[in-house]
Copies of this chain bind each other. A is one copy, B any other.
Amino acid sequence: MNKELKKVNKNALNPNVSVDCVIFGFDLEKLTVLLIDRCRNKRDKGIKLALPGNLIYTNEHLDQAAIRVLDELTGLKNIYLEQVGAFGNPDRISKDSDREWLKSIRAEPEASVITVAYFSLIKMPDYLPQASSFAKTAGWASVSEINELAFDHFEILQAAKEKLKQKIKIQPIGFNLLPEKFTLSQLHRLYESILEKPLDKRNFRRKIQKLEIITSLKEKQRGVPHKPSQLFEFKEVRYQELTQNGFDNFGF
């Protein structure tokens, strides 16, 4: 697999196609996304924040490219990853300052670029921001507070949010955003954050429990200034069972 990567890296860059990653995290309060701050690279008058992304190699599979970029940024492997779609507005690099910045990292900044967006779900604590040089300027931002991004990245983010919203209604992929052990309240907040609407606490718990996709551990939450909650764990096996047999509605 590492060998594979090296082979690919020998190839030339495809100047027309890039991959952008919408990397979602969850800080147990709200949905977040990993952005890179272009200010630290250069003084800049344009919008500072952008989604991490890069050009792909000529002979690289698109999905492979997304995996590679994600790995370069976070050092993480085996991450939940899904394509959002292709974005190809030729006006997407609209600001001069954007062009300037692109010149600093790309051989042919003026070439028309199609970008293929992916979203991934990671467990935030697993990500150590300083793991790679590429990630030096990276940081988490609260999704709901983002109003603008560089290039057409805001549009991409909206599409990724929408895709995630649809997906989580159908498949229980939310666990990719939570630590191994989590509480039902955390899961509840996660769903509310993603769906951007309140869900009745008791109805939510009932529905989740009926899926039999989580196991309650012996353990309880500790050190909280209120009644500690039961910890749960995701049941991988049951997940396979559900997703395989033509299961296509989680029910939210």
Interface positions of A (Cβ within 8 A of B): 14-17, 56, 58-63, 65, 83, 85-90, 112, 114, 116, 166
In-complex Cβ contact of A89 among B15, B61, B87, B112 (8 A): B61
Distance between Cα atoms of A183 and B16 in the complex (Å): 48
A17 touches B90 (CB 8 A): no
Q: Assess whether B17 is in contact with A56, with CB atoms less than 8 Å apart.
A: no
Question: A19 → chain B, closest Cβ, in Å?
Answer: 9
Known: A83-B85, A85-B83, A86-B83. A62 touches B114 (CB 8 A): yes
A90 to B16, Cβ gap below 8 A?
no
Closest residue of chain B to A62 (Cβ to Cβ) is B88
Top 3 A-B pairs ranked by shortest CB distance?
A: A62-B88, A86-B86, A16-B16
Residue picked from A14, A62, A90, most chain B C-beta under 10 Å: A90
- Whether the Cβ atoms of A61 and B90 lie closer than 8 Å is yes
19 chain-A/chain-B pairs, Cβ below 8 angstroms? A14-B112, A14-B114, A15-B16, A17-B114, A56-B88, A58-B90, A59-B90, A61-B89, A62-B86, A62-B88, A62-B89, A65-B88, A85-B85, A85-B86, A86-B86, A86-B116, A114-B114, A114-B116, A166-B166
In the complex, chain B residues whose CB is within 8 Å of the CB of A62: 86-89, 114
Q: Which B residue sits closest to A118, measured CB to CB? A: B86
Please name all residues of chain B whose beta carbon is closer than 8 Å to the beta carbon of A17 when the two chains form the complex.
16-17, 88, 114
Inter-chain contacts of A90 with B (CB < 8 A): 58-61
Chain B: minimal CB distance from A84 (Å) = 8
A65 to B114 alpha-carbon distance, docked (Å): 12
CA distance A62 to B87 in the complex (A): 7
State A166–B166 Cα separation when bound (angstroms): 10
Nearest CB of chain B from residue A149's CB, rounded to whole Å:
19
Question: Which residues of B lie under 8 Å from residue A59 when comparing CB positions?
Answer: 90, 112
Q: Hey, which chain B residues are within 8 Å of A83, CB to CB?
A: 85-86
User: Which residue from chain B places its CB closest to the CB of A165 in the assembled complex?
Assistant: B248
